[in-house]
Amino acid sequence: MTRLSVNLNKIAVLRNSRGGALPDVLAAARVAIAAGADGITVHPRPDLRHIRPQDVLALADMLTVEFNVEGNPFAGPNAQGYPGFIELVEAVRPAQVTLVPDDDAQITSDHGFDIARDSERLRPVIARLKRSGARVSLFMDAGSTSGHALRALGADRIEIYTGPYASAFSGGRYEAELAACAHTAADARAAGLAVNAGHDLDQDNLASLLAAAAPIAEVSIGHALINDALYAGLATTVQRYRSLCGGA
């Protein structure tokens, strides 16, 4: 069975667009958990455009499921109140940390790590995060074969960046991108890593990915899930995605 982690960033985008406290990130987390979510994912960015450090702290205090915090491990503190990614993670000690090589100007994450270039910068970061008790996953492009190098760095998992697969699926010709996802998943598992997946996964394309690249340990889904929830309701939508992941 694949675990479903619900990304709450878009809830915070709506709240921040108006100011105030609504919609409430914590209330959304409670609904998702009650509906069967196995975990909650957030991606706090230094520009504070959606999930903010205080949200991360508050979620850590109330969650009864696995907490996954995503972000750029090299993002330091700034004058806007961002404490630095590593510092924030060490303050909340989530079960999983997903490292993503994005910068402040990106609208959303759109590529994985270049391990040949970034390995020596990543090595001490991974060691530090593991000392805090976190499982460490790295965002990687579909088609990459860096499993053994990542294992040597101390990583526990990869998260396959599924954006290109999702885009190809919507166009009707996705076999090559799906095969790339499956290839990277197999390479990671051969190196002793578990495999997560995420980005633009939805109710149409999720089942094909899970079948082709099995076993997938976890998917984190936010944008499409919150979009679906606008029409069907958050609890019903989480239940539908949970069913696709193999849950009751």
Residue 104 pLDDT > 80, yes or no? no
What are the residues whose beta carbons fall under 8 Å from the beta carbon of 8, sequence distance 6 or more? 25, 28, 29, 32, 40, 41, 42, 51, 59, 222
Q: State pLDDT tens for residues 39-92.
A: 999 999 999 999 999 999 999 999 999 999 999 999 999 998 999 999 999 999
Q: Over the range 160-175, which residues count as b (16 or more CB within 10 Å of their CB) and which as e?
A: bbbbbbbebbeeeebe
DSSP-derived letter for residue 185 is H
User: Per-residue pLDDT averaged across 1-10, rounded?
Assistant: 97
Sole residue written with tokens 């590529």: 111
Active-site residue set? 43, 70, 199
Token digits of residue 231: 């029409």
Whose CA is closest to 114, among 156, 76, 161, 68?
161
What are the residues whose beta carbons fall under 8 Å from the beta carbon of 29, sequence distance 6 or more? 6, 8, 40, 59, 62, 63
Tell which wins on pLDDT, 76 or 107: 76
User: Per-residue pLDDT averaged across 138-153, rounded?
Assistant: 97
> What predicted TM-score, i.e. pTM, was given to this entire model?
0.95
Give kind and range of the element (H or E) at residue 171: helix 163-171
CATH superfamily of 3-244: Aldolase class I (3.20.20.70)
Residue 239 pLDDT > 70, yes or no? yes
The distance of Cα 197 from the centroid of its chain, to the nearest Å, equals 8
